[in-house]
């Protein structure tokens, strides 16, 4: 059986799934995906960006088991400090389903100038609420809402979150909702 692989730019407000709660928006609205398609990892409903899809369970397991780097760009509330970035880099304590968890060291840096993305479908907030800044966070683990919890733990809650890279695969110029079939992921 020949497997199929896709990249999608998951927009804000969609679940990283194809079936489920009827009232929620799902990925199947963007493309007539083949039977057996699955997301490799997930992005929560409020997050955007690169999502890899495949019909090959082995590929999915490979990406998750080898701890591929995942890079996120987070717009945070306030002007992120060097001290906060240092905390993120060494790991912070977050809660995962009511249990304390220490994140592994990661790469974190300020993005200056800020990246340019099209406006989100739902406005984030007005400038009158104070400044924001952007950070890049590269993790190899993928706990539930991990990046959001990490930035909040160092005092800079995430306002907007986009995954821009998985391994060597970049979001690039893929527009929100755009699907691109690829021959494979090159892993």
Active site residues: 44
* CA dist., res. 109 & res. 100, Å (int): 25
What letter does residue 23 receive in the DSSP assignment? T
Which of 110, 115, 3 lies closest to 49, judged by CA?
Answer: 115
* CA dist., res. 68 & res. 168, Å (int): 9
Instruction: Give residues with Cβ within 8 angstroms of 162, minimum separation 6.
Output: 47, 48, 49, 72, 73, 74, 117, 171
* CA dist., res. 163 & res. 47, Å (int): 8
């Amino acid at each position: 059986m020949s497997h199929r692989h896709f990249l999608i730019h998951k927009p804000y407000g969609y679940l990283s799934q194809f079936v489920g709660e009827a009232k929620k928006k799902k990925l199947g609205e963007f493309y007539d995906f083949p039977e057996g398609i699955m997301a490799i990892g997930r992005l929560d409903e409020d997050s955007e960006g690169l999502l890899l899809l495949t019909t090959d369970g082995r590929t999915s397991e490979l990406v998750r088991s080898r701890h591929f780097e995942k890079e996120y760009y987070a717009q945070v509330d306030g002007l992120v400090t060097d001290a906060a970035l240092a905390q993120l880099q060494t790991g912070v304590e977050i809660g995962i389903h009511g249990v304390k968890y220490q994140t592994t060291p990661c790469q974190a840096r300020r993005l200056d100038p800020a990246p340019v993305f099209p406006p989100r479908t739902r406005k984030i907030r007005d400038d009158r609420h104070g400044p924001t800044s952007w950070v890049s966070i590269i993790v190899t683990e993928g706990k539930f809402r991990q990046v959001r919890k990490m930035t909040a733990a160092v005092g800079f809650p995430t306002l907007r979150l986009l995954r821009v890279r998985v391994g060597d695969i970049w979001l690039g110029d893929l527009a929100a909702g755009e699907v691109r079939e690829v021959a494979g992921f090159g892993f």
